[in-house]
A and B are shown apart, each in its own frame.
Chain A
Amino acid sequence: MTSLAAAPPERRVPRWLARHETLLAAVLIVALAILGALNNRFLTLDNLLNQGRLMTEVGLIALPMTFVIITGGIDLSVGSVVGLCAIALGYSWKNLGFPLPAAIAFAIALGAICGFINGFFITRVKVPPLIMTIATLALYRGFAEGISQAHSVRGYPEWFYFMGQGELFGVPTQLWLLVAAIVIAGVALDRTTFGRSLYAIGANETAARFSGLPVDRIKLVVYTLSGLMAGVSAYVLVSRVTTTRSDMGIGYELDVIAAVVLGGTSIFGGSGTIWGTVVGLVMIQLLKDGLALTGVKGDATIVVIGTVLIASTLLASSLQKRRDVGG
């Protein structure tokens, strides 16, 4: 006797998860092969690295979002946090006269604060994550637009662009950052008490609490992380596009969640892996790119992404129903 989406059905089991990811990876490879065959410029190192550059901002946020969703929560405010942090970076530098490094630090810190505020209301006041972050989705974007009055900030010194446009050992700088973040997040989720606690909380919060896990503190950390990474992402983004605008990051939340869910993380919480998220992330990015290169227009690409999202979730839940002995 479950009560609709409200009460999650049996959750996925790790064994199955592994299979979901391999399945996804397989699909990905096939897709790549086809797209590669259709356009010879698609599977070039140059292009792939470049795609890596382009997907970094979303990727950095997708990692903590995986944590958030594994705990059974959600964070829709990330896109707005990116916007707010971008503005914070530009304004603290241009208008408040911060030295640029300080401005960067400030922006990232502000991101963490934004996330903390989400976490605080979610854990202490028990505001459902969905609504809380919808509220801050509007609130943070509003601050970004209001403070900046939609004025852009430009004319950063050359060194600032290294992160967004430079290369390190022939690989886009930010890609190193992303890879490092992926490794850290992956290890944290798979090997540490923290990671284990996330699964426990998502799968059965009461049991986690009864087992002496600091549930609320962990959640607070997770949402703060989400904001923090959004701040980092904002820095990378500003550095890549050389200018700060209040409309930065609009719609990121959807890309991020799409990547995470596509990566096999159960939106009900309790299951998911960083590796899955990465596959999902790459899949979406390369799907977009590959389709574009093979002459599919941007708008049509959006449709494909949406369909893939629903389809994969359907597939996931049907597989899951088959694997789980009922109720």
Chain B
Amino acid sequence: MSAIAMETRAAPRASLLRRLSSQEVLLAIAIVVLALVVGAINPRFLATRNLSDILLGNAYVAVAAIGMSMVIISGNIDISVGALIGVLATISGSMAVAGYSIALAWLVPVLVGIAVMALQGAVIAYLRIPAIVVTLGMLSILKGGLISVTGGKWITDLPDSFHLADIELFDILPMPVLIMVGATILAALWMRYTAQGRAIYATGGNPEAARLCGISPQVTVVMVFALHGLFAGIAALLFATQLKVIQSTVPPNLELTIITAAVVGGVSILGGVGTVIGSTLAAILIAEIASALVFVSISPYWIRAVQGGLILLTVVADIVRRQRRVAGDSR
């Protein structure tokens, strides 16, 4: 943990680099080390195809985790995102099959995502209903609603042009991966370099101060959830366009994986800290672990336990770090 501790002491140049200094670097190291270890056991693990597949199969988690990070940074939580992604994926697929233009089939779900999340944000911010309750209710509404509408009918015969994932650069970098990387970088820059981006940190870190600086916490929260919806929408697209079949049900435990990625990514659960780059790295790490378990022939049933352990580890580390910092202040 010494690396984490150091981060608080040292305060080098203000740049993305400094932001990257703690959790992100740790995660990057973890990713590489794990790859090397498993690679030593089974060299095929390091094959570019495998590595890019790991990214491809889980890009949507990473993208959704970006929004989740923002939500947590602003001091809230959302457990409805998994269900929402299922719904949006279905909408997208049905539209594509129903013969709407692909562009529309890609655009509409994103808009719907923004709308739904913004609505939740408004309820949380203005009606003062805790996020956990609102999103919990929304979870069951979306989940039940989806099935009662679709009857769980699978969506098949999707037009080929619908499949983002089939588009590959240099025949190795699938579109979803590019989108993941792009979204992460954009989001990171946005949070770092724009007033609204900073406002999120401000609201999460010290709402009272934010207010006195002329930032409205309410507006910020709604904005954050809207953005969260945007990313959920994009994630849903990646999710939907990955296979030639859309199950039109809610992917099990997805929200948990997403929250894990966000928290493990160094987003402080106490609100106010964290970067989306961390959450993306975390998502990659989690995916890598899942794949590694197969490569070393460990039952995938352990993945959940590993996830839980990871969250716990990061959270405790984060709290230690904060206590150190507090200690540092009082000198």
Q: How far is the CA of A7 from the CA of B75 in the complex (A)?
A: 11
CB distance from B2 to the nearest CB of A (A): 19
B256 & A134 in contact (Cβ 8 Å cutoff): yes
User: Complex Cα distance A127/B208, Å?
Assistant: 23
What is the distance, in angstroms, from B141's C-beta to the closest C-beta of chain A? 4
> In the complex, how many angstroms separate the beta carbon of A24 from the nearest chain B beta carbon?
16
- In the complex, what's the smallest C-beta–C-beta distance from A120 to chain B, in angstroms? 11
- The interface residues of chain B lying within 8 Å CB-to-CB of A142 are 301-309
Q: Which residues of B contact A3 (CB under 8 A)?
A: 207-208, 217
B130 contacts A by Cβ under 8 Å:
yes
Q: In the bound complex, what is the Cα–Cα distance between A299 and B248 (angstroms)?
A: 13
Given known A-B contacts A131-B263, A314-B129, A306 and B308 have beta carbons under 8 A apart = no
Determine the chain B residues whose CB is within 8 A of the CB of A6 once the complex forms: 75, 207, 271
Comparing A11-19, A90-98, A144-152, the segment that makes contact with chain B is A144-152
Stretch in contact with the other chain, from B59-67, B105-113, B144-152, B166-174: B144-152
Residues of B contacting A74 in the complex (Cβ-Cβ under 8 angstroms): 132
In the complex, whether B287 has a CB less than 8 A from a CB of chain A is no
Judge if B331 is at the interface, Cβ distance under 8 Å: no
Contact partner, A138, options B123, B136, B148, B256, Cβ 8 Å: B256
Q: Is the CB of A135 within 8 A of B207?
A: no
Residue B134 at the chain A interface, CB threshold 8 Å: yes
Nearest chain B CB to A292 CB, angstrom units: 13
List chain A residues, Cβ under 8 A from B131.
5
B118 CB, min distance to chain A CBs, angstroms: 16
What's the nearest-Cβ distance from chain B to residue A85, in Å? 16
Checking B127, B147, B207, B315 against A131 with a beta-carbon cut-off of 8 angstroms, the contacting residue is: B315
B273 interface residue, CB < 8 Å from A?
A: no
Residues of B within 8 A of A137 (CB): 256, 308
In-complex Cβ contact of B301 among A1, A132, A149, A261 (8 A) = A149
> What residues of chain A lie closer than 8 Å to B311, measured between beta carbons?
131, 134-135, 138-139
B312 near A: Cβ within 8 Å?
yes
Min CB distance A72 to B, Å, is 11
The number of chain B residues with a CB under 8 A from chain A is 55
Looking at the assembled complex, report how far the CB atom of A248 sits from the nearest CB atom of chain B, in whole angstroms: 14
**B127 touching A314, Cβ below 8 Å:** yes
Contact of B308 among A5, A136, A302, A304 (CB under 8 A): A136
Whether A297 contacts B301 by the Cβ 8 Å rule is: no
Complex contacts, B125 vs chain A, CB 8 Å: 4
- The answer to the question of A310 belonging to the interface, with a C-beta cut-off of 8 Å to chain B, is yes
Is B316 a contact partner of A121 (Cβ separation < 8 A)? yes
Residue A51 CB within 8 A of the other chain? no
Residues in A with CB closer than 8 Å to B312 are 121, 127, 132, 135-136, 139
Q: What does the 1/0 interface line of B100-128 toward A look like (CB < 8 Å)?
A: 00000000000000000000000111011
A128–B269 Cα distance when bound, in Å, is: 7
Q: Are B128 and A5 in contact (CB under 8 A)?
A: yes
Roughly how many angstroms separate A52 CA and B211 CA in the complex, as a whole number?
A: 50
Interface flag for B76 (CB, 8 Å): yes
CA distance A135 to B148 in the complex (A): 31
Complex Cα distance A53/B232, Å? 39
- A137 to B143: give the CA distance in the assembly, Å: 20
Which residues of A236-252 are within 8 A (CB) of B? 246
Bitwise, B294-306 to A at CB < 8 A (1) or not (0) is 0000010111111
Nearest A-chain residue to B134, judged by Cβ: A310
A128, B139: Cβ atoms closer than 8 Å: no
In the complex, are the beta carbons of B133 and A310 less than 8 A apart? yes
In angstroms, Cα B137 to Cα A18, docked, is: 24
Interface residues of B in 132-185 (CB under 8 A from A): 132-134, 136-141, 143-148
Chain A contacts with B in 144-199, Cβ cutoff 8 A: 145-146, 148-150
Hey, which chain A residues are within 8 Å of B138, CB to CB?
A: 306, 310
| A294 surroundings in chain B (CB, below 8 A) | none
Which residues of A, 24-45, contact B by the 8 Å Cβ criterion? none
Quick one: which of A90-147 are within 8 Å of B by CB? Answer: 121, 125-128, 130-132, 134-143, 145-146
Nearest opposing residue in chain B for A134, CB measure: B259
Question: Is B319 part of the contact surface with A, judged by Cβ < 8 Å?
Answer: yes
- Known contacts A257-B136, A267-B130; is-contact A301 B144 (Cβ 8 Å): yes
Smallest CB-CB separation from A309: which chain B residue? Answer: B137
A254 to B77 alpha-carbon distance, docked (Å): 15
- In the complex, are the beta carbons of A317 and B129 less than 8 A apart? yes
Given the contacts A128-B269, A135-B315, A303-B140, A297 and B307 also touching, CB distance less than 8 Å: no
| Interface core residue of A1, A9, A131, A138 (most chain B CB under 10 Å) | A138
Interface membership of B8, Cβ < 8 A: no
Which chain A residues border B269 with CB–CB below 8 Å? 127-128, 130-131
User: A50 at the A/B interface (Cβ < 8 Å)?
Assistant: no
Q: Assess whether A150 is in contact with B256, with CB atoms less than 8 Å apart.
A: no
Q: List the B side residues contacting A309 at CB < 8 Å.
A: 133, 136-137, 140
Q: Does A258 contact B (CB under 8 A)?
A: yes
- A130-B132 in contact (CB<8A): yes
Say which residue of A125, A148, A306, A314 sits within 8 Å of B140 (CB atoms).
Answer: A306
Q: A74-B132, A126-B319 are in contact. Are A305 and B304 (CB under 8 A)?
A: no
27 of the cross-chain contacts (CB-CB < 8 Å) are A4-B125, A4-B203, A4-B218, A5-B75, A127-B316, A128-B270, A134-B311, A138-B307, A139-B305, A139-B312, A141-B304, A142-B301, A145-B305, A146-B302, A146-B304, A268-B130, A297-B148, A299-B143, A300-B144, A300-B148, A301-B144, A302-B141, A302-B144, A306-B137, A306-B139, A306-B140, A317-B127
Enumerate the 8 nearest inter-chain pairs by beta-carbon distance, A residue then B residue, closest first. A142-B305, A139-B308, A302-B144, A138-B308, A142-B304, A3-B207, A306-B140, A310-B137
